[in-house]
Chains A and B, each alone.
Chain A
């Protein structure tokens, strides 16, 4: 017997969709705020420290797209 699908809205469906939406929002917000910080003169190590990740991690995730954006980047704090 195939179980009936629960409704796509309300109850746990809303809670689970919130998880998806929060992940997406966190990604979008990180992209935007890392870019803003670098444009305002933050260094990569400062951005990494504020995010609680390594400089290598933040570099790997954002360097390629931001190098093309013409942002003047400080290497050291």
Chain B
């Protein structure tokens, strides 16, 4: 029997709800940051905002709270702007009513879902933990830079997440 057939319908419905709720929460993060697209870093912040999903639980246990991830993103943006000779703006210069339009899902986020989906093999259900793997995989880009600047070992975390997925410990 395949893993897919072995898992209960209830499990798969719960995972679907996890992912939908996560994307909704990540949309709110992206809107609050006035981002025009929903990027993987917004998914990470949303996922670490509560530990009810498997991915959120895994990241928070590794010390990545939403506050920490947001600080990592701010540090990455500050360094990147600094590379262009732009200093950081005061928070008051950037206060704005959040956008009401739904940010489009960025290609980087779609690819993170695809990568997470692929490591699930023939099992077409992608859990939030699969998504963590998909987000942590790229060696370039914002998330890789966030980890590097924070001095955190992304490869080690990726290895642990991949091992968890392989064990099939899905919620």
Chain A residues engaging chain B, CB cutoff 8 angstroms: 5-9, 13-15, 17-18, 20-22, 24-25, 27-29, 31-35, 64-66, 68-69
Which secondary structure dominates where chain B touches chain A?
A: loop
Q: Could you say which of B36, B94, B139 contacts A32, with CB atoms under 8 Å apart?
A: B94
Which secondary structure dominates where chain A touches chain B?
A: helix
Bound form: Cα–Cα A8–B149 in Å: 10
Residue pair A28, B81 in contact (C-beta under 8 Å): no
* A44 CB, nearest partner CB in chain B, Å: 16
Bound form: Cα–Cα A44–B101 in Å: 19
Bound form: Cα–Cα A33–B86 in Å: 18
B62 CB-CB contact with A under 8 Å: no
Residue pair A15, B94 in contact (C-beta under 8 Å): no
Bound form: Cα–Cα A15–B145 in Å: 12
* A57 CB, nearest partner CB in chain B, Å: 14
Query: Knowing that A9-B145, A13-B140, A15-B84 are A-B contacts, what are 12 other residue pairs whose CB atoms are under 8 Å apart, sorted by A's residue number?
Result: A8-B140, A8-B145, A18-B83, A21-B76, A24-B34, A24-B77, A31-B34, A32-B94, A33-B93, A64-B101, A65-B96, A65-B97
